[in-house]
Amino acid sequence: MAALLSVQNLRAAYRLANGVELHAVDDVSIDLREGEVLGVVGESGCGKSTLATILALNAAPPLYVKSGTMQVQGRHADLTESDPLPRSERGKLISTLPQSAMNAMNPTTRVRDLAYDVLRAHERTTRKAAWGRAGARLEQLGLPTRVLERYPHELSGGMRQRVITVISTLLDPTILIADEPTSALDVSSQRAVVEMLKDLLARKIISGVLFITHDLPLLRHIADRVAVMYAGKVAELGPTERVINTPEHPYARALVGSILVPEPHIRAARVLGIPGSPPDLAAMPKGCRFHPRCPLADTRSREEVPPLVEVGDSGSHFAACWRTLEARQLLAGNLVGGPDGRVG
Amino acid sequence: MNPFGRYLLNKLFWYLLAFVAAMALNFFLPRLIPGNPVDAIVSQMAQGGGASGEAMQRVYDTYIVEFGLDKSPLEQFISYLGNLFRGDLGTSLGNYPTSVNSLIGAALPWTLALQLPTILLGWILGNILGALAAYKGGWVDRGAFLGSLAFSSIPYYGLAILLLYTFAVALPWFPTGGAYGFASSPSWTWGFIADAFRHYLLPFLSLLLVVIGGQAIGMRSMAIYELGADYVGYERSLGLREPRIVRGIFRNAMLPQITGLALSIGALAGGALITEIVFSYPGLGTVLFDAIRQNDYPVIQGVTMLITVAVLAANFLVDLTYGLIDPRIRTAHGAGA
């Protein structure tokens, strides 16, 4: 399958006033395939939102991209530049779906005027024509056209998020970077936004979604593949069901285990939370970044950074861990040993 | 009645109440000043000599009756209100028998000519400077911000005295006071206009710089706040054109500035009293200053009433336009009132 979006060796840091650099994203490479939803999951501070900001081409001081390239539909962009893509490509090649629609919309602009501004920035159009197109798109996706007349504060939270999804995809962008688009919503509104994204993909209005969230169960409903991030690095990457059912990286396993999932075979592999907390970005541990919290860490884990390598034989499942083999053996032993077996 | 109409009526009622309260204060406060205006007039006449004590007493009594000072304060207040509604502000005691209306009528144009251009021009320039500082950042920002801070921190009369001393006394480039030279009288000739302009420049500048500074600081902080808003990043990532985004930012940043403009236009009548005194400018400030020195109740009342009405009207206007400009407030009014 052809890669729609290919990000290579992305490194980015926040520069503090005292000159210290916090490496929030460290050597991340990610491919997004045609027609795919790639979920990026991790706890707070793992770098997933920083990744979204950079891919949305919104990096601004104090965030600096140290290295990284991006390829979108044959176009090559250097992410360290201040404007990796010309303005005319923004919103068309790559668009963003932000977390809080309330803050992402100018409070004194009606929905229809935002729609007009978005369309007008990329093509010659009239106010009437733009409103007509926005209205048609709303209807197509099952939303009432009267929301066009509304100001952001006049819409409910769930409706606002759906309306902004329509605005974000008004230009039929190739790729949509969705940064926690459902995090502030109730369950039924989350569902509505997720269904809408699927609908947009099915109608080929958009060709791929990078879906950033801390909500792993939600990803089961939408993501084809999942990347688990920890301390600025990709810890594990693979098809959603494989990552959730047979996580290979101890952190991914702990993350999956910390969520209530009804299936017994997952419950069996459950750990009791994750001891410790994510590392301070200013004082990153040597070697594997998870080693201070990892029950399986050995000398090599403490010294050498594990690369992201293929695990198993699926050809699509990767993990960055020196101890995957041992972990699997231990897990197998535990499963035989007792019904509520734990790792470590 | 629709909610907005009800809201308006409610507001109007409170403004009327505030007006009556202000009028009462206007009336009674000057009368608390020790002394009596008739004393001053009579003692001035007595200095001329000639008249006997008995004749003086008769003159005194005549003035007391003429000005209605023999009646009880409440009766005086009621007749004052009655005259007010007929548009009659009474007769000046200090410049008897000139009417207060004509005193204010002569002074008001000078005050307006001094204040209206400073407020409008200062508001426009200040907002542009503040917006530019916020948008450009760096050295532009630092320079504009420090300059604005300095000028807005100096009391306006302090700057007036500073300018007066520097450019009229130490460097005698400009006249030290008045609205025009002693030799000329107001007329629409080029000579007079040039003369009036020379007298105008220093008081104008002393007020303008302060207004620019204050407005620039307000606009800058509002614009910086708006520039950091999430919607700016979102609009950029959708590829909106920069002028389009900037327009949205500044429209939002302008909202509180518009309140400021309306309020300063309201405070215009009384806004630069001391500037006028410093430059002996023949505006309302000078009239009020003289009236206070002479216990000239009707003139004090007339000027303060004008100021009160202007401030109340401006506030009312702000209440109205704010609802029209900001949809969020419109909704709140509709729901709450």
| pLDDT tens digits, A168-182 | 988 888 999 998 888
Contact (CB<8Å) A87/B239: yes
**A284 touches B at CB < 8 Å:** no
CA angle, residues A15, A21, A24, in degrees to nearest 5: 95
Is the distance from CB of A331 to CB of A256 less than 8 angstroms?
no
In angstroms, the CA B127 to CA B132 distance is: 8
Verify that A296 and A174 share a domain, yes or no.
Answer: no
In angstroms, the CA B94 to CA B275 distance is: 23
In angstroms, the CA A237 to CA A40 distance is: 9
When CB atoms are compared, the residue of A58, A92, A104 closest to B231 is A104
In angstroms, the CA A67 to CA A64 distance is: 9
pLDDT of residue A116: 92
Verify that A289 and A141 share a domain, yes or no.
Answer: no
Verify that A174 and A258 share a domain, yes or no.
Answer: no
Contact (CB<8Å) A95/B240: no
Residue spans per domain, chain B: 35-88, 105-336
pLDDT of residue A333: 62
pLDDT single digits (tens) B19-38: 888 888 888 887 777 767 77
Residue numbers in A near B248 (CB within 8 A): 106, 108-109
Region B229-251: mean pLDDT is: 87
Torsion, CA B140, CA B143, CA B145, CA B147, rounded to 10: -140
The nearest CA of chain B is from the CA of A230 a distance in Å of: 26
Residue numbers in A near B238 (CB within 8 A): 90-91, 95-96, 118, 121, 167-168, 171
Contact (CB<8Å) A153/B328: yes
Residue numbers in B near A109 (CB within 8 A): 248
B179-210: b or e for each residue (b if 16 or more CB lie within 10 Å)? Answer: bbeeeeeeeeeeeeeebbeebbbbbbbbbbbb
pLDDT of residue A176: 92
**A151 touches B at CB < 8 Å:** yes
**A149 touches B at CB < 8 Å:** no
Verify that A202 and A263 share a domain, yes or no.
Answer: no
If one compares A275 and B290, the residue with the highest pLDDT of the two is B290
Provide the chain A residues 101-130 that lie in CB contact (below 8 A) with chain B. 103-109, 117-118, 121-122
Q: Which residues contact B166 (CB under 8 A, 6 or more apart)?
A: none
Type of residue numbered B198:
R
If one compares B326 and A202, the residue with the highest pLDDT of the two is A202
pTM across the whole model: 0.73
Residue numbers in A near B230 (CB within 8 A): 98, 100, 103-104
In angstroms, the CA A311 to CA B217 distance is: 60
What is the Cα B298 distance to its own chain's centre?
19
pLDDT for B267 beyond 80: no
Region A71-77: mean pLDDT is: 83
The residue of chain A nearest to residue B240, with distances taken between CA atoms, is A121
Provide the chain B residues 236-265 that lie in CB contact (below 8 A) with chain A. 236-241, 244, 248, 251-252
Residue A321 CA: distances (Å) to CA of A41, A298, B127: 17, 11, 57
Q: Is A235 a member of any domain?
A: no
Among the ranges given (A268-272, B81-85, B107-111), the one the predictor scored with the smallest mean pLDDT: A268-272
pLDDT for B310 beyond 80: yes
Verify that A274 and A325 share a domain, yes or no.
Answer: yes
Verify that A124 and A261 share a domain, yes or no.
Answer: no
pLDDT of residue A338: 37
In angstroms, the CA A263 to CA B324 distance is: 57
Give residue A300's domain range: 247-337
**Average pLDDT for chain B:** 80
pLDDT for A342 beyond 50: no
- In the sheet that holds A3-15, the strands lie side by side as A21-33, A3-15, A63-72, A75-78
Verify that A20 and A95 share a domain, yes or no.
Answer: yes
pLDDT single digits (tens) A10-46: 888 888 888 888 888 888 888 888 889 999 998 887 8
The residue of chain B nearest to residue A93, with distances taken between CA atoms, is B238
In angstroms, the CA A160 to CA A154 distance is: 9
**Residue A91's domain is classified under what CATH number?**
3.40.50.300
In angstroms, the CA A183 to CA A195 distance is: 15
The nearest CA of chain B is from the CA of A275 a distance in Å of: 35
Q: Is A240 a member of any domain?
A: no
The nearest CA of chain B is from the CA of A58 a distance in Å of: 6
pLDDT for A270 beyond 60: no
Verify that A218 and A311 share a domain, yes or no.
Answer: no
Contact (CB<8Å) A91/B237: yes
pLDDT of residue A37: 92
pLDDT of residue B11: 81
Provide the chain A residues 40-99 that lie in CB contact (below 8 A) with chain B. 56-58, 60, 87-92, 94-96, 98
Region B82-90: mean pLDDT is: 79
pLDDT single digits (tens) A46-69: 888 888 888 888 887 888 888 888
Contact (CB<8Å) B231/A151: no
pLDDT of residue A335: 47
Among the ranges given (A270-284, B7-21, B241-255), the one the predictor scored with the smallest mean pLDDT: A270-284
pLDDT single digits (tens) A301-337: 888 888 888 887 777 888 888 887 777 777 666 544 3
Q: What are the tokens at A232?
A: 């600025």
- Which one of B222, B225, B231, B246 would you mutate to disrupt binding with A, by most A Cβ within 10 Å of its Cβ? B231
Residue numbers in A near B256 (CB within 8 A): none
Number of domains in chain A: 2
Q: Is A242 a member of any domain?
A: no
Region B91-114: mean pLDDT is: 81
Among the ranges given (A192-201, B24-33, B244-253), the one the predictor scored with the smallest mean pLDDT: B24-33
The nearest CA of chain B is from the CA of A180 a distance in Å of: 14
Q: What are the tokens at B78?
A: 């009621």
Verify that A64 and A145 share a domain, yes or no.
Answer: yes
Verify that A83 and A25 share a domain, yes or no.
Answer: yes
Q: Is A181 a member of any domain?
A: yes
Count of CB pairs separated by less than 8 Å, A with B: 78
Task: List beta partners, residue A37.
Answer: A209
The residue of chain A nearest to residue B229, with distances taken between CA atoms, is A103
Residue numbers in A near B233 (CB within 8 A): 58, 60, 98, 104
- Which one of A108, A124, A176, A179 would you mutate to disrupt binding with B, by most B Cβ within 10 Å of its Cβ? A108
Choose from A282-291, A323-332, B155-164, B229-238 the range with maximum mean pLDDT: B229-238
User: Which segments of chain B does DSSP mark as H helices, in order?
Assistant: 3-31, 37-47, 53-66, 73-85, 100-136, 138-153, 156-164, 190-227, 230-237, 242-266, 268-271, 273-278, 284-293, 297-325, 327-336
Is the distance from CB of A177 to CB of A165 less than 8 angstroms?
no
DSSP letters spanning A163-214: HHHHHHTTT--SEEEEESTTTTS-HHHHHHHHHHHHHHHHTTSSSEEEEEES
pLDDT of residue A225: 92
* pLDDT > 90: percent of chain B: 1
pLDDT for B177 beyond 50: yes
Residue numbers in B near A56 (CB within 8 A): 237
A288-306: b or e for each residue (b if 16 or more CB lie within 10 Å)? Answer: bbbbbbbebbeeebeeeeb
CATH class of B105-336: mainly alpha
